[in-house]
Structure 1
Amino acid sequence: MPDAQAWDAIRELNHKVSDLGQPFALTEDVRALLRDTAPDVAITAEEAAEALQSEASTAALLVEIARRIREGSHRLSRMLGELDRRQQTGDADGARQLLLDVLAVEVVPHYRDIIHTYLAALDEED
């Protein structure tokens, strides 16, 4: 399970830089945060280390990590609402397909684990 405080720090830093236009300051704390959080969103240690070589590529890494967290979260939220609707109407096959479709595009391991949990629950119902 990812570190919720680290994900919050990523979101906050990205908001400051991307939305508020504050300058990106490459500090050792920022480097450590990004290096430690990259695997949470399926960015390899090698990819992260390469990105951490310059301020511009580190800023791009921040944006990518934040994007994966945000888009995965939104995708998961939409999926859960639709999953509930399909289950309420008795559409188990549609529910399973929805989960498989989202699983096919999701890269964040934590979100993938959640989807697998829902798939396992559907399998238990059969």
Structure 2
Amino acid sequence: MDGLNWNDVRDLARRVAQGEPLLLTAVTRSILLRVAPQVGIAPGNAERALQSGATAEELLQEVSRRISNGSRRLSRTLADVERCRVAGDIDGARQLLNDVLAVEVVPHYQDILRANLAALDDES
């Protein structure tokens, strides 16, 4: 898997949101095909989405949404987990992580949640 440099997809999404048309260049296709699996979108689904400008734009929006929503959800959860942990509520912290893990689709964020679960298990 390529590195998780999502700045190119964020920049592309920002430009499209500002009204720039999404051009299906080799670079654009490469960005979306690289990042889609990194956010839990099957490569075949990404390939199909790149067959038209409208579906490619939907793919870009979904990739961008998963990155930003997952990041916010992860940040909030880790802050809440730390508050629980400091208060001695390891079970509550574990439940928060499990609840978010049940809905998170971005593999990188799932890995972070699992690592935090393992750290809690090491504390108990």
Report the TM range for the smaller structure's normalisation: over 0.9
Distance 1:65 1:39 in 2: 9
SS at match of 1:63: helix
Indicate conservation of the 8 Å contact 1:51/1:57, yes or no.
yes
Tell me the TM-score normalised to structure 1 length. Answer: 0.94
> How large is the Cα RMSD of the aligned pairs?
1.2
Shift of 1:4: 3.6
Q: Summarize the Cα distance change of 1:2–1:73 in structure 2 as closer, same or farther, 3 Å threshold.
A: farther
**Percent identity (aligned):** 51
Deviation string 1:70-120 (CA, Å, 9 cap, x unpaired) is 000000100111111111111111000000000011000000000000000
Q: Which residue of 2 aligns with 1:12?
A: 11
Q: Which residue of 2 aligns with 1:3?
A: 3
Question: Partner amino acid for 2:119?
Answer: A
Listed as ranges, the gaps of 5+ residues in structure 1 are: none
Q: Decide which of 28, 31, 34 is 1:30's aligned counterpart.
A: 28
- Does residue 80 of the first structure (1) align with residue 78 of the second (2)? yes
Q: Greater helix share, 1 or 2?
A: 1
Deviation string 1:5-43 (CA, Å, 9 cap, x unpaired) is 3x101011101112x122221111101110111110111
SS at match of 1:105: coil
The number of residue pairs the alignment matches comes to 124
Tell me the TM-score normalised to structure 2 length. Answer: 0.95
Q: Which residue of 1 aligns with 2:98?
A: 100
Shift of 1:2: 5.8
Q: Summarize the Cα distance change of 1:88–1:2 in structure 2 as closer, same or farther, 3 Å threshold.
A: farther
Listed as ranges, the gaps of 5+ residues in structure 2 are: none
Question: Partner amino acid for 2:7?
Answer: D
Q: Which residue of 2 aligns with 1:118?
A: 116
Distance 1:77 1:2 in 2: 23
